[in-house]
A and B are shown apart, each in its own frame.
Chain A
Amino acid sequence: MKEKLMRLQAELEEKLSRAATPDAVEELRVRYLGKKGQLTDILHSMGSLSPEERPVIGELANRVRGAITEAINQKKASFERALRQKKLEAETLDITAPSEQIPEGGRHPIALVQEEIERIFISMGFTVEDGPEIETDHYNFTALNTPADHPARDTQDTFYITDDVLLRTQTSPVQIRVMEKTRPPIRMICPGRVYRSDAVDATHSPMFHQIEGLVVDRGITMGDLKGTLDLFAQKMFGAQTKTRFRPHHFPFTEPSAEVDVSCFVCGGDGCSLCKKEGWIEILGAGMVHPNVLRGCGLDPEVYTGFAFGLGLERIVMARYGVNDMRYLYENDVRFLRQFA
């Protein structure tokens, strides 16, 4: 009986190896393991064995059944794998064919730079303020210590609505509005549009964007101005960035400075962006003029402060290599797409 079992197993394995279809395997399973299968027949005839033989043969029979079942299952699985593989191959796509386009969309490059600058100053505890673009002469000039006959007030530079109302030429009037309604400490920036009577060309626009900054408190020093703008420049243009403060003149700050940053393209070695200078002028700054503080009801003996202003277009153009300001206001999607 033992030999019968072993023969049976060998016979099945041989037939299984030749089975070419899932149906053939199923047929073998029925023939050997089914209710009327050959193994079942052998097990049925175990009653004729002696009590000593019965457990030995029984164990062997179970082993043979396990082995046969396993072999059949494996053969079946291999057929299924092959089938699935074939199906997947049939599903092959041309992966280089174009994808479905999702909508593009993007911010304007001026807005990108503005947001970045806002983020840097917000992280330093600055609030972001807003003010009117159509301003009074008082806020745009007088309160900013710009005397009545100052050339900046000239109609050649300023768009006037009436004698006393104009399009703001700078974001600085927001300084005054904030100082009038807020007591120090003040730390604020104000981004926005400003207007000057310049004809449109590659580097001029009658409308452009500035960001104004103001810090007023007890004990604010010119060193604090330098420290703040150094930090800004490093965050904006990279940790290696250096600043250079040059004396200058603005009516509403004293001392005043123009601030250059080391060229962020060449690192100061000289390139076409910085016109071989190694420096790019980006900011005007200074200590708030005592007359400005006094005008806002702040005692310059008690409070000091600094202010700064920068033009966004200049930074946008330098950063992205835009060589003509007109692109910024033409709103051509082929331009806008490059900043998305």
Chain B
Amino acid sequence: MKLSLRFLSDYVKSEFYREPKSYCDRMTATGSKVEGYELAGEDVLNVVIAKITEVKPHPDADRLQICAVDTGKETIQVVTAAQNVFAGALVPVALDGASLPGGVKIQTGKLRGEVSQGMFCSIAELGLTIHDMPGAAEDGILILPSDAPIGEDIRDYLLLKDVIVEFEITPNRPDCLSVIGLARETAASFGVQASIPTPKVRGGAGKTGDLLQVSVKAPDLCERYLARAVKHVKIEPSPLWLRSKLRMMGVRPINNLVDITNLVMLEYGQPMHAFDYRTLRGKQIVVRRAKPGETMTTLDGNEHTLNPEMLMICDAVGPVGVAGVMGGLDSEIRDDTDTVIFESAIFSGASIRHTSRALGLRTESSARFEKGLDPETSLLAINRACELVELLGAGEVCDDWIDFYPAPRKQTVLPVEVERTNRFLGIEIDRARFEEILTSLNFEIRGDEVWVPHYRQDVQDFADLAEEIARIYGYDHVRASAFSGAAQVGGRSEFAEFLRKVHRECVALGFFEIQTYSFISPKFYDAILLDSADPRKNSVRIRNPLGEDTSIMRTTAIPSMLDALGHNFSYRNPRACLYETARLYHPIPGRELPLEDRAVTLGAYGDTDFYAFKGLCEALLNRLLGCGTPREKTYTIRRASSPYLHPGRSAEVWIGEERIGEFGEVHPDAARNFGLNTKAYLASFSAEQLFAHQKGAPHFVALPRFPAMTRDLSLICDAALSVGEVEDVIAASAGKKLESLKLFDIYTGSQIPEGKRGLSFTLTLRDAEKTLTDEEADRITAKALKALNERFGVTLRS
């Protein structure tokens, strides 16, 4: 909301424009937030009204003329190319040292040998348009009326000087979308009086009711409808003072009647409309919902197809305006309009919003109705419009008005609660100050009751009153305190603490945390090659996404990880090692909200291979779940079959019969879909499952008192036999004396028969109770070998 401080001074007699910064600071401090301000007219300097006393041709240039000019102080010579100058004309002249909008500087100089001590100005050179100065020459010098005072600063004469303050008005204060509303706030903020006159209309042109009938067929969408007729209107440009006010507030002047409706909207915040009476068929205004398929053409010349959710202003036949949004082209005020019907009404904000959205029409009017307006103000506004008509001599106003207002609103009344307010805010003010603040905001104190002004529909409750007190008293005067009450231990949930541990371990292992969007493209599922029956394809879908690429809530974070790897690869980062604790969203049949859980995803490319990446995954799992022993592993690894992973280089991680995640090389097709033309590695684990199986508090195990023995076993196995299978047999056979089992060589070559491979292990054996003998160690090793031989035909390498 723009506010002209000159306009404001109509209501509050203070010279705020002299110190705009402190005005803005105080208004912000009391709740009318100022976004900024600008000084209008500052770009027009040293331009005065002057009289051309003589015009003669330039001796050396056909298109130039030499003028003698009386500036009120002296006579100067100005050379001009303008053709519309004449002796006796009053014009604005930019003197030596003047500046004009757009950074133009004027200095004394010579034009084709003749001295020119200034420049005559057109309206464009003064930063004005033909709308601001109707009738002015558009391709010549601005010729001023003959009574313009010679020597006066053009800014004073044309009312160009002002301070324009830009307010951010919060949605609870639609009353402040008006000069009068801000005048009231200004008065309360500075402890001064605002004088807001009640409009006075002489009338005398008969009864509105004799001309017009109004019927409201949709009272649920139209709380109040006021109409008042003005006869014998004379359509002409508004006077300068009115045009200037509109211009400063950012509204383009059109003609006196339209300008009046716009001025009243700025003054009161009430959008107004004016209909050409002769276009109203049946001499009727009918406020009703549109009929299906009904059409109308709005003022902007666009034709719209309407639907029954839209509220229309109609005549006996059809729509003449979209209620609260825009008038119709047919009922527009024209130069030959004779009788005008002013409308001032209260339409439902929600309805106006839907209509303006549906039609793609957002206007000053619709924006105001959307916020909710005050029906009492509607009457003041229509009367003000009529008062302005009389002031401008623009027409003859009827004596009365038509008022549809079946259920007048009741004024809100709240109790005076000084003590409670003090307790709530942590301040100490007495009743006198309490009353003083509320009175300054036009609240009325009647005994122990506070009567809320009709335009303050936001004040409904104790807390609302407390806010009024607090903001005028000053938020900065509320003393900071520490809350008391029972001590409480702060902290996170166990799961949140576990996630922090996941973060710590991932970072320690060299991964960078990433943040990817929770919404993804449905194409991401195809990019990771999920088949059509994959349950992960069943996602929560956003009804109004920004685009297809962000239209569904992910059920897997794997494509997001590949996307992040792909980004890094495309920027030629030689390696990336990334992780995310990503929230996933799984639709659950019969439940309103999906199940939200978290995945821990890891991804890497560059300087790594399957075993290096497996090592990182196992290190993470070991730290989170515990290491286990060869015989009792905390988790087991099985071959995986995920479509996005390399079928021969991927694994699933299981705890008992629970699958908790997977890792492996990314399938080259999936990698390519994310622009990864390199080997990439990926892991994904369920955070909830990791949490459920996390290792408990450490339990001390006595350090061994007896030495360990080691035995190496070099085996020849079928090439297809996995290391894991061999390890499991050794671990089961060797029993609890097997402290660790480590593969140290895989060998294929000349000494190994075709279809076989050599595996070499070191067994570390220890007895907790006594020193293990060589014989015992040999016996355990031999037994393991026997078990391997029986199970898999494994033999010892000679």
Chain A residues near B490 (CB-CB < 8 A): 121-128, 187
- Tell me the residues in window 208-248 of chain A with beta carbons closer than 8 Å to chain B beta carbons: 215, 217-224, 226-228, 230-231, 244-248
Contact in complex: A336, B543 (CB < 8 Å):
no
Residues of A within 8 A of B798 (CB): none
Selected from A126, A161, A185, the residue in CB contact (under 8 A) with B540 is A161
In the complex, per-residue mask of B489-530: 1 if CB is within 8 Å of any chain A CB, else 0: 111110010001001001111111111111100000000000
Q: Is B666 located at the chain interface by the 8 A CB criterion?
A: no
Contact A330 B567 (CB under 8 A): yes
Q: Which of B33, B487, B518 contacts A133 (CB 8 A)?
A: B518
Specify which chain A residues have a CB less than 8 angstroms from the CB of B511 in the assembled complex: 103, 105
Asked whether, in the complex, the Cβ of A223 is within 8 Å of the Cβ of B546, the reply is no
- How would you classify the secondary structure of chain A's contact residues: helix, strand, loop or mixed? mixed
Q: Which of B479, B506, B544, B573 contacts A197 (CB 8 A)?
A: B544
Within 8 A of B (CB), among A323-340: 328-334, 336-337, 340
A12: B residues at CB distance < 8 A:
none
Per a CB cutoff under 8 Å, which of A148, A248, A291, A329 touches B515?
A329
Q: Are B370 and A151 in contact (CB under 8 A)?
A: yes
Q: Which residue of B lies closest to A139 (CB)?
A: B593
A234 vs chain B, min Cβ distance (A): 11
Interface size class of B (residues with CB under 8 A): 35 or more
Q: Are A128 and B496 in contact, CB atoms less than 8 angstroms apart?
A: yes
Cβ–Cβ < 8 Å partners of A258 in chain B:
33
B583 near A: Cβ within 8 Å? yes
Task: Please tell me which one of the listed residues A148, A160, A226, A331 contacts residue B350 in the complex, with CB atoms under 8 A apart.
Answer: A148
B716 at the interface (CB under 8 A from A): no
- B570-605 with Cβ < 8 A to chain A: 571, 573, 575-578, 583, 585, 592-594, 596
Note all chain A residues with C-beta closer than 8 A to B571.
Answer: 332, 334
Contacting pair A340 B540 (CB below 8 A): no
B510, B515, B592: most-surrounded residue (chain A CB, <10 A): B515
Instruction: Tell whether, in the assembled complex, residue B353 and residue A149 are in contact, meaning their CB atoms are under 8 Å apart.
Output: yes
Q: Flag if B507 contacts A107 (CB, 8 Å).
A: yes
Chain A 124-179 residues near chain B, CB threshold 8 A: 124-130, 132-136, 148-151, 154-155, 159-162, 164-165, 167
Of the residues A149, A150, A289, A331, contact of B567 by C-beta under 8 Å: A331
B31 within 8 A of A: yes
Q: Is B471 an interface residue (CB 8 A)?
A: yes
Please provide the chain A residues from 270 to 302 with a CB less than 8 Å away from any CB of chain B in the complex.
Answer: 287, 289-291, 300
Contact present for B592 and A222 (CB under 8 Å): no
CA distance A167 to B488 in the complex (A): 32
A290 touches B463 (CB 8 A): yes
Which of A23-31, A67-75, A78-86, A249-257 contacts its partner? A249-257
Interface assignment of A206: CB less than 8 Å from any CB of chain B? yes
User: When chains A and B are docked, how far (Å) is the Cα of A228 from the Cα of B491?
Assistant: 17
1/0 contact string of B65-104 vs chain A (CB within 8 Å):
0000000000000000000000000000000000000000
**Cβ of A13 under 8 Å from chain B:** no
Question: Is B596 a contact of A133 with CB atoms below 8 Å?
Answer: yes
**B420 closest partner in A (C-beta):** A301
**A110-B593 in contact given A230-B480, A248-B170 (Cβ < 8 Å):** no
- B464 interface contact, C-beta 8 A: yes
Cβ–Cβ < 8 Å partners of B593 in chain A: 132, 134-136, 165
Complex: A172 Cα to B482 Cα, angstroms? 23
Q: A133-B583, A206-B550, A336-B514 are in contact. Are A246 and B28 (CB under 8 A)?
A: yes
List, in ascending order, chain B residues with CB within 8 A of A132's CB: 593, 596
The reply to whether B540 and A331 form a contact with Cβ atoms under 8 Å apart is: no
Of B462, B478, B517, which one neighbours A207 at CB under 8 angstroms?
Answer: B517
Asked if B540 and A332 sit within 8 Å, CB to CB, the answer is: no
Give the shortest distance, in Å, between A16 (CB) and chain B (any CB). Answer: 49
Given the interface pairs A227-B483, A254-B466, the reply to whether A150 lies near B478 with Cβ below 8 Å is: no
- Residues 3-41 (chain B) with a chain A CB within 8 angstroms: 28-31, 33
Which residue from A103, A124, A155 sits with its C-beta under 8 Å from B510? Answer: A103
Residues of B within 8 A of A121 (CB): 490
Q: List the B side residues contacting A89 at CB < 8 Å.
A: none
Whether A333 pairs with B553 at a CB distance below 8 angstroms is no
Asked whether A167 and B542 contact (CB < 8 A) given A105-B506, A207-B517, A219-B485, the answer is yes
Does A104 sit at the interface, judged by CB under 8 A?
yes
The residue in chain B whose Cβ has the minimal distance to the Cβ of A121 is: B490
B350 touches A155 (CB 8 A): no
Query: Knowing A107-B503, A187-B490, A218-B485 touch, does A247 contact B516 (C-beta < 8 A)?
Result: no
Q: Are B464 and A254 in contact (CB under 8 A)?
A: yes
Question: Which of A118, A160, A197, A220 contacts B483 (CB under 8 A)?
Answer: A220
Chain A residues, Cβ within 8 Å of B704: none
**Given A289-B463, A290-B463, residue A125 in contact with residue B489 (CB < 8 A):** yes
- What are 17 residue pairs bridging A and B, where the CB atoms are less than 8 Å apart in the complex? A108-B515, A126-B490, A127-B488, A133-B585, A134-B593, A160-B543, A207-B519, A215-B483, A217-B483, A219-B484, A222-B478, A223-B479, A224-B426, A226-B478, A249-B173, A300-B463, A329-B516
The 7 A-B pairs with the shortest beta carbon distances in the complex, nearest first, are: A103-B510, A223-B426, A247-B31, A221-B426, A249-B170, A255-B467, A149-B350
Beyond A150-B171, A333-B576, 18 additional contacts (C-beta under 8 Å) are A106-B512, A154-B353, A159-B544, A185-B486, A220-B485, A221-B481, A222-B427, A222-B470, A227-B483, A246-B475, A247-B470, A255-B475, A258-B33, A330-B567, A332-B571, A332-B573, A333-B573, A337-B512
Residues of B within 8 A of A (CB): 28-31, 33, 170-173, 349-350, 353, 370, 423-427, 461-464, 466-467, 470-471, 475-476, 478-493, 496, 500, 503, 506-519, 540-546, 550, 553, 564, 567-568, 571, 573, 575-578, 583, 585, 592-594, 596
Chain A residues proximal to chain B, CB less than 8 Å = 102-108, 110-111, 115, 118, 121-130, 132-136, 148-151, 154-155, 159-162, 164-165, 167, 185, 187, 193, 195, 197, 199, 206-207, 215, 217-224, 226-228, 230-231, 244-249, 254-258, 287, 289-291, 300, 304, 328-334, 336-337, 340
